[in-house]
C-alpha cells in the first residue's frame, strides 16, 4: 500500500484492540492516517496501544458500542483530540454459535446489540461530524454470512444481514452529502472469534472445502480492501458489499 494514501486523515476503528479490527487499525496507520482505536476490553486496549500505536498521533478510547452515551463520547473525544473524523470502520463484533431452538433471548439480543445496533449507533454519531465537514468514508464490517448462511448461527447471521441493509440505507441517504458507506464482507478469517472453527480439524476442512482458495484468510488479507474503501481510490463507490472471501460467493 502507498504509505501516504491516507495522509492526514483521521480514522476511528471500533473493535480495534484485537483480530480484524487491530489489523485494520495498524494498516490505516501505515497508510498515513491518525487512528482512534475503540474497544470494550480495557486490558487489550491498553496493551495494543502501548505496543503498536503509542508515540504517534493516535489515541485509545474505551467504548461499548452498544451504549449510545459511550459512542457519542468516543466521537467527541476523537474530534477533540485529533480534529476530525474522515474514516469510520465499524469492526466491533461478537458471536454465539447455537441453533435457533437453543439460543436464548438474552444471547440473541446481545449479538444484535453489538453487531447491528452498535454499527447503527457509531455510524449515526460519526456521520453528524462527517455531514458538517461534507465528506467521509464509513466501512461497516459485515460478512459473507450477511448474504448466505450456515445453520446454528441465527443471531450472528441476522446481525450481519442487517449491517448489509443498513449500509445500503445510509449510503442512499448521504450520497449527495459527500459520505460514502460500504460494507466489507470477509469470508472465514483466523481470529479469536473463529478460533473454535480453525482449531477443529473437521470444521477447518469443511470451511476450506467450501472456499475456492481452500483455506481461511489472515486478518492482514482484509486490510487492503479497507484502505481502498477509505481512500479516494473508491470515491465513486458507495452502498456496496466488497467480498474478500477467497472466492466463496462465486459458487
Whether residue 24 contacts residue 91, with contact meaning beta carbons closer than 8 Å, is answered with yes
* pLDDT on residue 3: 77
Within its chain, how far is the Cα of 225 from the centroid?
12
Number of structural domains in the chain: 1
Distance between CA atoms of residues 211 and 111, nearest Å: 26
**Residue 200 located in a structural domain:** no
**Residue 17 located in a structural domain:** yes
**Buried (b) or exposed (e) across 41-55, using 16+ Cβ within 10 A?**
eeebbeebbeebbee
**Residue 212 located in a structural domain:** no
Structural domain that includes position 80: 10-190+218-250
**Residue 113 located in a structural domain:** yes
The CATH number given to whatever domain includes residue 164 is: 3.40.50.720
**Residue 213 located in a structural domain:** no
**Residue 101 located in a structural domain:** yes
Residues marked active site are found at 156
Residues of the chain where predicted confidence (pLDDT) is lower than 70: 1-2
* pLDDT on residue 49: 98
Within its chain, how far is the Cα of 121 from the centroid?
13
The span from the first CA to the last CA of the chain, in angstroms, equals 29
**Residue 204 located in a structural domain:** no
**Residue 197 located in a structural domain:** no
* pLDDT on residue 1: 54
Amino acid at each position: 500500500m502507498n504509505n501516504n494514501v491516507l495522509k492526514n486523515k483521521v480514522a476511528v476503528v471500533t473493535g480495534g484492540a484485537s483480530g480484524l479490527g487491530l489489523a485494520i487499525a495498524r494498516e490505516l496507520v501505515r497508510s498515513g492516517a491518525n487512528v482512534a482505536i475503540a474497544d470494550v476490553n480495557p486490558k487489550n486496549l491498553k496493551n495494543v496501544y502501548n505496543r503498536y500505536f503509542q508515540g504517534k498521533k493516535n489515541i485509545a478510547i474505551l467504548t461499548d458500542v452498544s451504549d449510545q452515551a459511550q459512542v457519542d463520547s468516543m466521537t467527541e473525544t476523537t474530534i477533540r483530540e485529533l480534529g476530525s473524523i474522515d474514516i469510520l470502520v465499524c469492526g466491533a463484533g461478537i458471536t454465539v454459535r447455537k441453533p435457533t431452538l437453543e439460543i436464548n433471548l438474552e444471547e440473541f439480543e446481545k449479538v444484535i446489540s453489538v453487531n447491528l445496533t452498535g454499527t447503527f449507533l457509531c455510524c449515526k454519531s460519526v456521520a453528524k461530524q462527517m455531514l458538517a465537514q461534507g465528506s467521509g468514508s464509513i466501512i461497516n464490517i459485515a460478512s459473507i454470512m450477511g448474504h448466505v448462511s450456515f445453520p446454528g448461527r441465527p443471531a450472528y447471521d441476522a446481525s450481519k444481514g442487517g449491517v448489509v441493509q443498513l449500509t445500503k440505507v445510509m449510503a442512499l441517504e448521504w450520497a449527495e452529502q459527500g459520505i460514502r458507506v460500504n460494507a466489507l464482507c470477509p469470508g472465514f478469517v483466523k481470529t479469536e472469534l473463529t478460533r473454535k472453527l480453525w482449531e477443529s480439524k473437521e470444521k477447518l476442512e469443511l470451511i476450506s472445502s467450501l472456499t475456492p482458495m481452500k483455506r481461511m484468510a489472515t486478518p492482514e488479507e482484509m486490510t487492503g480492501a479497507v484502505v481502498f474503501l477509505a481512500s479516494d481510490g473508491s470515491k465513486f463507490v458507495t452502498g456496496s458489499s466488497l467480498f474478500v472471501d477467497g472466492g466463496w460467493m462465486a459458487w
